[in-house]
Amino acid sequence: MGRMHERAGTPAQPQDLIDVDALLGAYFDQVPDPANPEQKVVFGTSGHRGSAFDTAFNEAHIVATTAAIVEYRRAQGTDGPLFLGKDTHALSGPAQDTALEVLAAAGVRVCIDARDGYTPTPAVSLAILVENGAVDPTGLRTSGSGLADGIVVTPSHNPPRDGGFKYNPPHGGPADSDATRWIANRANEILTGGAWRQVPRKQLKDALAADSTERFDYLHLYLRHLPTVIDLDAIRSGGVRIGADPLGGAAVDYWGAIGEEHRLDLTVVNPEVDPTWRFMTLDWDGKIRMDCSSPSAMASLRGLMEGADAPYDIATGNDADSDRHGIVTRDGGLMNPNHFLATAISYLYGGARPDWRPDARIGKTLVSSSLIDRVGAKLGRRVEEVPVGFKWFVPGLLSGEVGFGGEESAGASFLRRDGRVWTTDKDGILLCLLASEIMGATGRTPSQLHRDLTDELGESWYARVDAAATKAQKDTLAQLSPSQVSATELAGQEITAKLTEAPGNGAAIGGLKVTTADAWFAARPSGTEDVYKIYAESFVSEAHLGEVQDAARTVVAEALEG
């Protein structure tokens, strides 16, 4: 991260809160200029994001993007139901309404939440896959008529002022670059010259009453299928006490229902939903951000778990759309996402899922810890390293050839216990429950199991540093190449690889990764914010990590100057 804000980790104050009425007014009143790059539809790693205050997420954007999705799915022959969900951001409600108005006018069969509530991203992914036959004896269909797809209205963990809009095609996971590029280009065409105003729409009350609009019980579907992916008996028999904090996000109703339906010792730590997120502690940069992997954003839950008299064995957090996980243990505090990924992989592949394919690969993004590679080597499992973005795990999860796919940013999913696909998008609820399964099955916390791994395979020091970057600078960083690294050594060690393509699938990483025997760094622009990121890891020492970071900054600085 960048420089720590003086109030990071402290409760939000009135001056930190957004004016919700003003934000909603801006959504309807401000009209984007598609000639302005800052006001165009741009799909990053997880959809289009922006704030209505910046004329970057407004009614016009959603009309145009939804109309583009209607055209795209029609061209692809996707004519089944479209599962539409939203998170708890202030802009998500009006954006879902706008999308529904366009979809209903186009005659698209739309499934909205039966309770008029919030829908986690993984619940939408699960619904798409189940509709498309993931649990049928004949197996999942990805071609032919009647296929379902989905839209999730969410900017994930972004601050309360932001909105987000992402499309999941029939495979249930994030749309690939070809799809998002087409949708964004077409949406910007529709924005040009005010053409978005001519897009057919139904009045909201008529759209809600339309024969094509259906009520769908996302929560019940998720509850019903959960025992196929998590060993709930292990959690119950182990007496694991769970404290779940939805952080004001879409999982708010899910956690209580999971505890009740499956008879778990589970408490929803904070059931409050507030579009200002006034109950949050400030993130590292002084902003309200629902990042459940951030020690600053998770300060309240961390404090609750301190001391021998902590009320829970495992405490968990999720971001606003529940596709990310945060794990807090009494003995280790908030787990670094990389530490939990390595621990989860060691547990799942180490005997907990005997019905998975014996050659099921481990999926990791190339900025995730190399401890995962060492765990894979120990288990005799191939580690498939892919670029940043969960979309790269979709084919392997669908086929069962990848058992687990995880990202350093605390996003992951894995197969059902019988080896069939669960979700092809990240599932933060699932990973939080896995932490409790691990404790129930082994009698040890994930923190203890991680220490066992580092005792055997080596301790590492890992960090990500963010720095502000303009769009032009981000474009430059995305084009970094091995030729721009003239050095033969990195922090005193011989450079073993300079990568611009991921070794797992040969796809461009949109940046650069440099490795040695005991360290590496990767530099890449953010797909969702105006920052660039330097990831680095050392198995030597914390001081050595600093040397690696310094070398990485030099490479980035030279690239931006050149």
Contact 244, 313 (CB under 8 A): no
Quick check: 187 pLDDT over 80? yes
Contact 117, 87 (CB under 8 A): no
Quick check: 150 pLDDT over 80? yes
Quick check: 3 pLDDT over 80? no
Maximum Cα interatomic distance, the chain, rounded to a whole number of Å: 67
The whole-number average pLDDT for the span 293-321 is: 95
Q: Quick one: pLDDT at residue 531? A: 82
117-148 confidence digits (pLDDT tens): 999 999 999 999 999 998 887 788 888 899 99
User: Of residues 558 and 507, which shows the higher confidence score?
Assistant: 507
Quick check: 554 pLDDT over 90? no
500 membership: H or E segment, kind and range: strand 497-501
Quick check: 151 pLDDT over 80? yes
Residue 332 half-sphere exposure, CB side, CA atoms within 13 Å?
22
Residue 101: which region, alpha, beta or left (left: phi > 0; alpha: psi -120 to 50)? alpha
**Position of tokens 């505890």?**
259
Burial bucket for residue 513 (CB in 10 Å: 0-12, 13-18, 19+): buried
Determine the Cα angle at 382 with ends 379 and 386, to 5°.
Answer: 130
Torsion angle of alpha carbons 492, 495, 496, 502, nearest 10°?
Answer: 120
Quick check: 426 pLDDT over 90? yes
- Indicate if the alpha-carbon torsion angle 136, 142, 145, 149 is positive or negative: positive
- Which residues have C-beta within 8 Å of that of residue 34, sequence separation ≥ 6? 40, 188, 191, 192
Share of the chain above pLDDT 70, in %: 99
Quick check: 485 pLDDT over 90? no
Residue by residue, DSSP assigns 325-385 as EEEEETTTEEPPHHHHHHHHHHHIIIII-TTS-TTPEEEEETTS-THHHHHHHHHT--EEE
Q: How confident is residue 560, by pLDDT bands cut at 50, 70 and 90?
A: confident
- Which residues have C-beta within 8 Å of that of residue 561, sequence separation ≥ 6? none
Shortest CA distance to 300 belongs to which of 286, 283, 285, 325? 283
Residue by residue, DSSP assigns 407-467 as ETTTEEEE--TTS----SS--HHHHHHHHHHHHHHHSS-HHHHHHHHHHHH---EEEEEEE
Listed in sequence order, the DSSP H helices in 192-228 are: 204-209, 218-225
Listed in sequence order, the DSSP H helices in 192-306 are: 204-209, 218-225, 232-237, 252-261, 299-304
**DSSP tag of 281:** B
Shortest CA distance to 128 belongs to which of 166, 185, 180, 90? 166
The overall average pLDDT reported for the chain is: 95
- Which residues have C-beta within 8 Å of that of residue 495, sequence separation ≥ 6? 485, 487, 488, 489, 514, 515, 516
Instruction: Give me the amino acid identity at 560.
Output: L
147 membership: H or E segment, kind and range: none
Q: Quick one: pLDDT at residue 562? A: 62
Q: Quick one: pLDDT at residue 528? A: 64
Share of the chain above pLDDT 90, in %: 86
Shortest CA distance to 253 belongs to which of 113, 98, 43, 405? 113
Contact 49, 87 (CB under 8 A): no
Quick check: 1 pLDDT over 70? no
Enzyme catalytic residues: 156
Shortest CA distance to 317 belongs to which of 373, 383, 250? 250
Instruction: Give me the amino acid identity at 435.
Output: A
The whole-number average pLDDT for the span 81-92 is: 98
User: How far, in Å, are 63, 83, 169, 211 from residue 200 at the CA level?
Assistant: 9, 20, 23, 17
Contact 154, 120 (CB under 8 A): no
Q: Quick one: pLDDT at residue 390? A: 95
Q: How confident is residue 492, by pLDDT bands cut at 50, 70 and 90?
A: very high
Would you list the domain boundaries of the chain?
461-561
- Indicate the class that CATH gives domain 461-561: alpha beta
**Position of tokens 């609750």?**
304
266 membership: H or E segment, kind and range: strand 265-268
**Position of tokens 């940069």?**
285
Quick check: 529 pLDDT over 90? no
User: How far, in Å, are 268, 374, 387, 410, 535 from residue 383 at the CA level?
Assistant: 36, 9, 13, 18, 19
Contact 90, 28 (CB under 8 A): no
Q: How confident is residue 2, by pLDDT bands cut at 50, 70 and 90?
A: low
Quick check: 289 pLDDT over 80? yes
The whole-number average pLDDT for the span 169-193 is: 96
**Position of tokens 């004016």?**
19
